[in-house]
Structure 1
Amino acid sequence: MRDLSYVIIDDTYELVISSDNAANIGEKEKDQIQAPYSLVAESLFRVAFMENRSIGAHPIAVVLYNFTDESVWREFTQTIKKKMNAMGFEVPITGSTESNFPLPHSAFGLSIIGKVEKRNKIDCQTPANARFAVIGEPLVGEEVIRHRERMAPLALFEELVKNKDIYEVLPVGSKGIEKEVKALLQANDFSEDVQVKCSLDLYKSGGPATCFVITYNPGEEVNIRALAGDVFHHLTIAKY
């Protein structure tokens, strides 16, 4: 369900590894989507960070793979540091740049290594009476540039991860909202034979995790809606 790898450290802790990549998006002439590298860096960081934090891990290192040009390294790492600091974390950044063979298109990869205490891992904790919602909207490509107000703010994501009335948080990937909801149901040993309803497109790619699914305490819906504001979208889960 989650795009994560776990490495056991000892009886108490695990390493959590998350990653994302982007190609043909950037400032090179032949890039299909023209976007500032700061936005590309922000998008890659967003996906890997949200995956890591969604299960309660604390980032301890960032690894950057730069296939574009060594001249963009500074802008990329500064953007990542700024975003990481805004979320309350300060971690080292390492990585490598392909400087021998130039590419006609921009290409990057990014991994975040986190650490989580096993007993505090936020996974498979959704009870049968939980309610579901999507925070943000699925946006892809140039939509991420044109409609940033529809994206779930990263600060809101972090606030909801820490909220005790939120059972689980799951970033939406390329397979869409319904796929993530059914994977979450399966992980919690609930039936996947359900009909998922929402005002949003359930099958559209979530792009750089522009939205995420939450399960939450029904008694706190008013407060959660107030926190999320216009980016809150209720999900209805009904059995066939």
Structure 2
Amino acid sequence: METLGYQGRDIEVVSINPEQYLVASCDSCGAIGLKSFDIVQVAWSITGRLTARVALLEILAVGATPKVMTVAISNEPYPTGEELLKGVKEELISAGLALPLAISTEKNMVTQETALGISVVGIVMKHQLRLGTSQPGDDVFCLGLPKVGPEASNPEDPEIIQIKHLNKLLGISEIHDMIPVGSRGIRTEAEQLALNSHSRLLFYPSCSLNMDKSAGPSTCLIISSPRPVTNLVFSDLKQLPIHKIGTLV
């Protein structure tokens, strides 16, 4: 079975027939919740919602349609598991998705730290796969701000990327690649975008973003486009910070 091997991304792309790819994404989250050993104390529903968002963003960003989600909860079914699932389901509703869920919880051991893993599997037509579609001359922009830990405790924060934003971007033909930024930071993800498109990124020296800060649960998104993003902005993005970070050569 042919795999495209996108090392460095939290996805894998596999050819399943002459017309389609299977795309799988995953995200893990530990020590964020309401247990005694959790480092960041937030409601479990928020942990569930933002972890689900990361895995969904990865699938959607490459043009795939999510088909199924797995939720691996390394904690007891109640109250932790129930509240984590509540957040997962809230994110699915917010994204306008109704996915079958395969769920597992820890029923044998007492745990003192929240631990959650989410995977999403989707399908995309081969000619619609959005990976390595950037071209020399494209500008690269960051939408949203990198936030991590307590900074990223509000799923509705107007300064972070949400699935509704990405869905709108998918409908704009002038936008090429889209990469959700995670713990590796903007610089690493932008360099990966350039590598996948066989080009080099010249960073914009006036960009005020912290290029190496973790973006936690994918609070920002890198996109490439031959046109200024400010000319493509729609009403849902008016409050979302947009920064030019460089140009592909």
Is the contact made by 1:4 and 1:51 (CA closer than 8 Å) also made in structure 2? yes
Let me know the Cα RMSD of the aligned residues: 2.2
Which residue matches 1:65?
A: 72
Is the contact made by 2:25 and 2:55 (CA closer than 8 Å) also made in structure 1? yes
Which residue matches 1:218?
A: 227
What TM-score results when the alignment is normalised by the length of structure 2?
Answer: 0.88
Name the SS for the 2:233 alignment partner: helix
Cα distance in 2 for residues equivalent to 1:97 and 1:187:
37
State whether structure 2 residue 39 is matched by structure 1 residue 55: no
Which runs of no fewer than 5 residues in structure 2 stay unpaired? 1-7
Is the contact made by 1:64 and 1:109 (CA closer than 8 Å) also made in structure 2? yes
Cα distance in 1 for residues equivalent to 2:232 and 2:248:
27
Identity %: 26
Which residue matches 1:157?
A: 166
Post-superposition offset of 1:184: 0.7
State whether structure 2 residue 214 is matched by structure 1 residue 205: yes
- Aligned with residue 241 of structure 2, among 227, 232, 238: 232
User: Which shows bigger deviation, 12-21 or 79-88?
Assistant: 79-88
Is the contact made by 2:141 and 2:229 (CA closer than 8 Å) also made in structure 1? no
**Aligned pairs (5 A) from 1:1-240:** 1-71=8-78, 72-145=80-153, 148-192=157-201, 194-197=202-205, 198-218=207-227, 221-224=230-233, 228-237=237-246
Cα distance in 1 for residues equivalent to 2:209 and 2:232:
22
Cα distance in 2 for residues equivalent to 1:234 and 1:225:
16
Cα distance in 1 for residues equivalent to 2:245 and 2:226:
15
Post-superposition offset of 1:23: 1.0
Cα distance in 1 for residues equivalent to 2:121 and 2:73:
17
Which runs of no fewer than 5 residues in structure 1 stay unpaired? none
Which has the larger helix fraction?
Answer: 1
Post-superposition offset of 1:196: 4.3
